[in-house]
Homo-oligomer: A and B are copies of this chain.
Amino acid sequence: MNESLTNQTSLTSGQLIVCHVFVNTTTVASCLHRPLTAHTAAVMRENDESEIIEHHDDEEMEKTRTPRNHAHSFLESVTSSEKDGYRSTQSSHRLLAYSDALISIIATVMILPVAHTKFQDNEELKQSIQALLTTKVAVYLMTFLIVTVAWAAHIRLFQVIQRIDDTLALLNLACMMLITFLPYTFSLMATFPSNTFGILLFCACVMVIGLIQAMIVLYGFSHPFFLSDQIQMSENQAYYKRRILEVIMRVPIMCLFASIFSFIYIQLSYIILALVIFLPYISQCLKWIWSKAIGGLVEDSPDSVPFYTYHPSEPLSKERVEAFSDGVYAIVATLLILDICKDNVPDPSVVKKEFDGKLLVALQEYGPEYLAYFGSFATVGLLWFVHHSLFLYVTKATRLMGLFNTFSLAFVGGLPLAYQLTHEFPRGSLNELEAVQISCVIIFFAGLFQLAMWVTALFTERETLHPYVRYGGREHAFMLAKLSVYPCVALGTFVFSCILSRFSTSIFHMMEIGVPFAFILLRLLVRVVLAAIRWLFCPARNDLDIVPVEEEDSQLPINDIVT
């Protein structure tokens, strides 16, 4: 014992630093966790060198191999592109954040043409406007759906390729360019449904995207240090590569067929395209029903490629789901002010003529629009807040949760339409009532799918949720309350606006402005309600809110100084 101590001290005096971290706690996981994260976060902020993945060992070895032979090493570095690629390897983090931002904006921005359709109380024009509106809504929904599918494929791809270099970054940008072009092909398809050009253009884009993704995969597998550690370690790399290429090329090949069939019978190609999107879900549904009906579990082969199973519980990068959702919520909140700035600044000449140059009087006309703006912004902001609160406690996002998230976001993207509708029509008209009801429906479904996400997560709560919000957890009731505020309020407003149809807009605006206060007081309200329920129904059983804290404690390796 004495010897070891002496040994240690002598090393310290040399170059050794001994860090003793004494942590006194019962839960080992949190013990290891806290000091490290707090510390490392500080270090990382100071010094962000961690993004460039370094290979000092490699360099060291090179140095020892060719000591001071610089001319040779220079030539070598020019020729050996392999080593060069290895050196310029980067973390893919920011590339993915940028892609998420691009894709989320592209998915949402197509609501603008919908929202900007001018409505009139003219019965003659109504029919043609409604046809136009249907087209535009169709374009928006198609864009949102297909772009989200492309995004899911992008997630899957970059779960395999986890490090990048300049070439991969440029290939990814090319891919993004084509994805942002997709909405235009939908516009063509929706405007000229019987013309083959739109569908051909779409198929061409998808095929090129597929080819680029295949190139990314091939490039990644030819430089294995780009791959995820799991695949890098595996011996089945060739099998993985083939399997992933098969999955990726499936869609472009179906698009090829769709484009060929478009010359023969155009309806058929639309059906093929619909199949492309829903096939994974349909096959999974059938599998699930089959397994429930027959009882025999249809298991995937054990050596199937991770991330490419299309299973509903397949993990989806939680970070990227958050980044994508943030993008959608941010763009929706911002589109509103664009309209305000464009339409609600009166013309100086008009102000001079009609209002004697009195700006304030001229602006009073727009009163309801400001109200609608603040109400809509509050709604978007609070829906983001609910999403944020939920994902704080989500530990793993699954594909099914991602699907519900997409649906929720598609409705959130419809909110600018709700804004446009609720201030467009004259007070008390029938259109106004319709507008308010459409808005309520949009908000209701946006909230409901958020709730559905949580319910889905609860089914596999051990994997997907933090203990606090699991059934019986400390924050369970509060989370439920947070998630159900918007569906309940929207439903209530819908019913009230039916009964008191004359005051529908006022009710709607009061709802939008009142909800933030509900959120501020929510924790208190939940407490009071819970206490009341407990006091009324089960005064004897006071242990309802006690969490069955799981004993997840694992003993950590303890470096004993052996005597």
Contacts and interface: CB of A to CB of B under 8 A. Distances in A.
Contacts of A59: 549
A389 B12 contact: no
A488 interface: no
Contacts of A356: none
Interface stretch (A19-27, A453-461, A491-499): A19-27
Contacts of A348: 191-192
B56 A17 contact: no
Name, among A21, A74, A90, A363, the residue most crowded by chain B CB atoms within 10 Å (CB to CB): A74
B391 A180 contact: no
Nearest to A47: B395
A94 B2 contact: no
B330 A98 contact: yes
Contacts of A430: none
Nearest to A193: B348
Contacts of A34: 50, 54
Given A170-B385, A333-B180, A188 B542 contact: no
Main secondary structure of the interface of A (DSSP, over half): helix
Contact of A19 (B26, B97, B181, B559): B559
A264 interface: no
Interface stretch (A100-108, A212-220, A236-244): A100-108
A334 interface: yes
Interface string A327-342: 1011101111110111
A57 interface: yes
A360 interface: yes
Contact of A330 (B32, B77, B101): B101
Contact of A326 (B7, B101, B333): B101
10 nearest A-B residue pairs (beta carbon): A101-B330, A4-B562, A173-B381, A105-B334, A19-B21, A187-B345, A70-B542, A102-B330, A20-B559, A40-B40
8 contacts: A4-B562, A15-B26, A17-B25, A18-B22, A52-B392, A71-B542, A101-B326, A112-B338
